[in-house]
Amino acid sequence: MRRGLKVIGYLLQKEFLQIFRNRGMLPIIFIMPFIQLVILSNAATFDVRNVPFHLQDMDRTALSARLAEQFTGSGWFNLTGESFSERKSVERLVAGQANVSLVIPRDFEKELMTRGEAKVQLVINAEDGFSAGVIQAYSNDIVRSFNRTLSSVLPNGLSHSGVGEIVVKSSAWYNPELVYSDYMVPGILVVLVTLVGLFLSGMNVVREKEIGTIDQINVTPMRRYQFITGKLLPFWIIGLGELTLGLVIARLGFHVPMLGSYAVVYLVAAIYMLVVLGMGLLISTLTDSQQQAMFIAWFFMVIFTLMSGLFTSIESMPHWAQNLTMANPVRHFVDIMRRVMLKGAGLAEISSPLLILTADAVLMLALAVNRYRKVSD
Amino acid sequence: MNEGVIRAEGLTKTFGEFRAVDAISFCVAEGEVFGFLGANGAGKTTAIKMLTGLLSPSGGKASVAGFDVYREAEKIKRNIGYMSQRFSLYDDLTPMENIRFFGGIYGLGRREIAEKGRFLIESLGLGPVAGNRLGSLPLGWKQKLAFSVAVMHEPKIVFLDEPTGGVDPLTRRRFWEMIYEAAARGLTVFVTTHYMDEAEYCDRISIMVDGRIAALGTPAALQAEFGVGSMDELFIRLARPRAKEGI
CB atoms closer than 10 angstroms to residue A373: 13
Indicate the pairing of strand B212-217 with strand B80-84: unpaired
Please tell me the predicted confidence (pLDDT) of residue A299.
94
- Tell me how far apart the alpha carbons of residues A310 and A190 are, in angstroms, rounded to a whole number: 9
Which of these, A57, A51, A45, lies nearest to A74 by C-alpha position? A51
The whole-number pLDDT of residue A45 equals: 60
Residue-level length of chain B: 247
CB contact under 8 A, A374 and B53: yes
Residue B187, classed as helix, strand or coil, is coil
Best probe of the A interface among B48, B49, B105, by most A CBs < 10 A, is B105
CA atoms within 13 A on the CB side of B150: 33
Closest Cα in chain B, distance from residue A77 (Å):
57
- The Cα of A281 is separated from the nearest Cα of chain B by a number of Å equal to 19
Q: Which of A320, A302, A319 is nearest to A311 (CA)?
A: A302
Global pTM? 0.79
Helix H, strand E, coil C: the string for B59-90 is EEEEEECCEECCCCHHHHHHHEEEEECCCCCC
Residue A19 CB burial class (10 angstroms; 0-12, 13-18, ≥19)? middle
Single out the residue of A7, A40, A26 nearest to residue A241, CA to CA.
Answer: A26
- Of the candidates B55, B77, B91, the beta carbon closest to that of A220 is on B77
Shortest Cα–Cα distance, A194 to chain B (Å):
26
Which residues of chain B carry a pLDDT beneath 50? Answer: 1, 243-247
Q: Is A10 exposed, middle or buried (0-12, 13-18, 19+ CB in 10 A)?
A: buried
ipTM for this model: 0.86
For residue A123, list its beta bridge partners: A101
Nearest CA in chain B to A374: B54
Whether B87 sits inside 8 A of A211 (CB atoms) is yes
Please check whether residue A17 touches B, CB under 8 A. Answer: yes
Closest CA relative to residue A202, chosen from A288, A99, A73, A321: A288
Q: pLDDT digit of tens for each residue in chain A (377 aa)?
A: 677 788 999 999 999 999 888 887 778 787 877 788 888 777 656 667 788 899 999 999 988 898 888 888 888 888 988 988 888 888 888 888 888 889 998 888 888 888 777 888 888 888 777 778 888 888 888 888 888 877 666 665 454 544 444 555 556 566 665 567 788 889 989 998 998 889 888 888 899 988 888 888 999 999 888 999 999 999 999 999 999 999 998 888 888 889 999 999 999 999 999 999 999 999 998 998 999 999 999 999 999 999 998 887 888 888 898 888 999 999 999 999 999 998 888 999 999 999 999 999 999 999 988 888 777 77
Compute the nearest-CA separation of A215 from chain B (Å).
7
DSSP class of residue A155 equals: P
Region of B43 on the Ramachandran plot (φ > 0 left; ψ -120 to 50 alpha; else beta): left
Length of chain A: 377
Disruptive mutation site among A10, A209, A377 for chain B (greatest number of B CBs within 10 Å): A10
CATH superfamily of A51-150: abc type-2 transporter like domain (3.40.1710.10)
B241 CB contacts (<8 Å, ≥6 apart)?
A: none
Q: Give A 87-116 residues with CB within 8 A of chain B.
A: none
Number of H helices, E strands in chain A: 16, 4
What local confidence, expressed as pLDDT, does residue A161 receive?
A: 46
Is B106–A212 a contact, with Cβ atoms under 8 angstroms apart? no
Q: What is the DSSP letter of A162?
A: T
Closest residue in A to B93 (Cα) is A18
Residue B215 Cα, gap to closest chain A Cα (Å): 28
List residues of chain B with CB under 8 Å from any CB of chain A: 49, 52-56, 73-74, 77-78, 80, 82, 84, 86-93, 97, 100-102, 104-107, 133, 159
For residue B56, the chain A residues in CB contact (below 8 A) are 375-377
C-alpha distance from residue B73 to each of A220, A254, B45 (Å) = 10, 56, 17
Check CB contact under 8 Å for B54 and A218. Answer: yes
Q: CA-CA distance, A42 to A90, in Å (whole number)?
A: 32
Rounded distance, CA B243 to CA B239, Å?
6
* Chain B: residue whose CA lies nearest to A21: B92
CATH number, domain B6-89+140-239, options 3.90.220.20, 3.40.50.300, 3.20.20.70, 3.30.70.980: 3.40.50.300
**Which residue ranges does chain A devote to CATH 3.40.1710.10?**
51-150
Angstroms from A279 CA to nearest CA on chain B: 24
